[in-house]
Amino acid sequence: MAKANEYLIRKAKKGDGKRWVEMWNEGIKRKFFVYNGNNKLRTKKDIAKANKKYSSKSKNEFTFFAVDKKSGKIIGSCFSNQEKGRTRHRVEFGWMVHPDYSNKGIATSLVKRAIKEAKKRGIKRAEAEAAKENIASIKLAKRCGFKIEGTRKKGLLTDDGRYIDTYLFGQVL
C-alpha cells in the first residue's frame, strides 16, 4: 500500500486540467488504460475543457483526484456523472490510476471517497461498468461494495479488434 501520507485525495479544482491530461496520456501511451471507453490521447483543447468543468459548480458531476504530495502530480482519478429526471438518484463512476502508482490502494481510497460524497448528496444508487478481462477494476468494484448486476454482451471493442463483454456493477447507497 502507498502510505496515506504520501498522497492526498481531494476534489478536482480549476487548474487541474493539465496534470489530469498528463496522467491520461501516460496511461494511454503505456497501454495501461486499455479497457476505458475512450482510447485517444488528449490535447490542449481537453485541458481547457477539463479546467472549465472543474471550475464550474455543476450539480451533476464531481471528480476526486489522488495527488502525490511531493510532486503535485495527479496520480489517480474517480469521476462521476449523476443522471437527471427520474434517474436523478443514480450516479455512474469511472476510475483510473497512473500506471506507476497502481496496486497501492489508491483507487480504493478514491472510490470510497466518491461514494461518501454521493451519499452526502442524497444519491441512492451507484453504478459502474468494467470489461470482464479487467481484473483490477472488477476487484476494485467488489472491494468498494459493488455487486455484478448484469452483463453487457460485446460491451467493449478493444484496440486489437475484439468485442468483449462487460459487467454492469451497482450498489444501493
Ligand X SMILES: CC(C)(COP(=O)(O)OP(=O)(O)OC[C@H]1O[C@@H](n2cnc3c(N)ncnc32)[C@H](O)[C@@H]1OP(=O)(O)O)[C@@H](O)C(=O)NCCC(=O)NCCS
Residues 6 or more apart in contact with residue 42 via CB below 8 angstroms? 21, 24, 25
- Piece of 10-18, 90-98, 114-122, 146-154 that binds ligand X (CB under 6 A): 90-98
CB of 134 to ligand X, least distance (A): 5
Q: Say which residue the cell 489522488 belongs to.
A: 66
Q: CA 94, CA 114: separation in Å to the nearest integer?
A: 10
Regarding 96 and contact with ligand X (CB under 6 A), the answer is: yes
Site string for ligand X, 112-151 (x = CB under 6 A): ------------------x---xxxx-xx--x--------
The residue within the footprint of ligand X, chosen from 95, 146, 167, 169 (CB under 6 A), is 95
Q: CA 27, CA 64: separation in Å to the nearest integer?
A: 18
- Piece of 10-18, 85-93, 100-108, 119-127 that binds ligand X (CB under 6 A): 100-108
Helix (H, G, I), strand (E, B) or coil at 4: helix
Residues 6 or more apart in contact with residue 55 via CB below 8 angstroms? 13, 14
Sign of CA dihedral 102, 73, 9, 145: negative
The residue within the footprint of ligand X, chosen from 91, 107, 114, 126 (CB under 6 A), is 107
Contacts (CB under 6 A) with ligand X, residues 19-78: 32-33, 35-36
CB of 110 to ligand X, least distance (A): 8
In angstroms, the Cα distances linking 72 to 30, 67, 80, 131, 146 are 21, 6, 22, 31, 31
- Piece of 42-50, 51-59, 84-92, 93-101 that binds ligand X (CB under 6 A): 93-101
Cα 133 from chain centre: 17
The count of chain residues that interact with ligand X, using the rule CB under 6 A, is 22
Query: Which residues of this protein are in contact with ligand X, per CB under 6 A?
Result: 32-33, 35-36, 95-97, 102-108, 130, 134-137, 139-140, 143
